[in-house]
Amino acid sequence: MTENNLILYFPVEAYTDISVECGTASISLAILYCPVMYTGYNDSHLLLNHVSDDPSCAGTLDESASPPVVRFTFSLNKTSSCASKFITTSAVGQGIFSSFSNIQTVNISGAVHSSDPTSGTVTYNAGLKYYYSCAYPLEYLINNTQVDVSASSIAVKTENGSFISTLSMELFSDVNYTTPLIMPSNGVELRTRIYVQVEATNLTEQYNVLLDRCYASISPDPTSTTFFNLFVPCDSDQMTKIHKNGQSQQAHFSFQAFRFIEQQNETVSTYYLHCITRLCEISTCATFMVR
């Protein structure tokens, strides 16, 4: 008796068949519908990470797109992420983060699988798999706050902005962080206490904001060689007070207004505030709170 081995070759989905949008609050997938239909499936046969009992994880056919696509959108919160995998990795920092040995990145990944509706022993439909992955660094630099200093007073100019869209820095004049700092025309006197808030908005609730280091420099370039540390791990300037750090999606500290000696002969001198900010998982924040 002669045995013949039959080898079948199945089509492989092109990378262009799926597009991924890595948002700050959710991940969105768009899968080309025509290859799905030609393989013998429809949108209801595509399952996100094999989740079939949650309507929020189901795909939606968008025929208004050209070409038509099946869309999936799910939250970055672990409890509502449609069984996506969350893997956090650590590495030694590079560049502006080079003084830190533990810089984390969270990778969120999974796949959309086809569910074959054929009943019986064999099928003529190829299995479809579409993999997705989004990597989010958990360490950022906030450095958009400028402080202008005259011989006897300071004036602060700040704007809500961020290295990523969820983070912003704002200055306040009171310890309750309720009154934004508004500069009088003649500026604020030296030694005035300035209250700084770094806040995350529209960020999944599983992360808190933890400030690893905040410092001032005479250049907007955060790598300037002339700088003054307001606080660093295990140490802080005696005029700096840390009010809240790593406990919520707001971090608070304050410092007394000062001038750089290097600029003492200038009528108005300027320096810039920078904060290296970690987004830590709530369960691990205490690990990094070494101060």
Tens digit of each residue's pLDDT (9 = 90 or more) over 53-80: 999 999 999 999 999 999 999 998 888 8
Burial 116-136 (b: 16+ CB within 10 A, else e): beeeeeeeeebebebebebeb
- Reply yes or no: is the peptide bond before residue 67 cis, omega within 30 of 0: yes
Question: How is the chain split into domains, by residue range?
Answer: 15-137, 140-288
Q: Is the pLDDT of residue 143 over 70?
A: yes
Does 142 score more than 70 pLDDT?
yes
Confidence of residue 100 (pLDDT cuts 50, 70, 90): confident
CB contact set of 256 (below 8 Å; sequence gap of 6+): 190, 191, 192, 193, 194, 239
40 CB neighbour count, 10 Å cutoff: 16
CB proximity list for 188: less than 8 A, separation 6 or greater: 153, 154, 155, 156, 181, 194, 257
CATH class of the 15-137 domain in this structure: mainly beta
Per-residue pLDDT at 145 exceeds 60: yes
pLDDT tens digits, 258-268: 888 887 777 66
Residue 156: band (very low, low, confident or very high) from pLDDT cuts 50, 70, 90 = very low
User: How does pLDDT run across 202-226, given as a tens digit for each residue?
Assistant: 888 889 999 999 998 888 888 778 8
Contact 288, 225 (CB under 8 A): no
pLDDT at 164: 64
pTM recorded for the entire structure: 0.77
CA distance 20 to 13: 15
Residue percentage of the chain with pLDDT more than 70: 82
pLDDT of amino acid 161: 35
The pLDDT score that the predictor gives to residue 6 is: 52
Task: Specify the DSSP element, H or E, that contains 213.
Answer: strand 207-217
Q: Which of residues 167 and 174 earns the better pLDDT score?
A: 174
Mean local confidence (pLDDT), 107-112: 92
Write down the CATH number for the domain with range 140-288: 2.60.40.4100
Find the DSSP H helices in 105-177.
none
Where does the pLDDT of residue 240 fall: very low under 50, low under 70, confident under 90, or very high at 90 and above? very high
**Model confidence at 32, in pLDDT bands (50, 70, 90)?**
very high
Max Cα–Cα distance, the chain, nearest Å: 102
Please tell me if the domain spanning 15-137 has the same topology as the one spanning 140-288. yes
- What does the block give as tokens for 141? 């630099």
**Residues written for the chain:** 291
pLDDT, tens only, 266-291: 766 678 888 999 999 998 888 887 54
Q: Taking residues 228-242, report their average pLDDT.
A: 83
Q: Is 2 helix (H, G, I), strand (E, B) or coil?
A: coil
Residue 159 predicted with pLDDT over 70: no
Q: Please, are residues 197 and 252 in contact by the beta-carbon 8 Å criterion?
A: yes
Question: How high is the pLDDT of residue 237?
Answer: 74
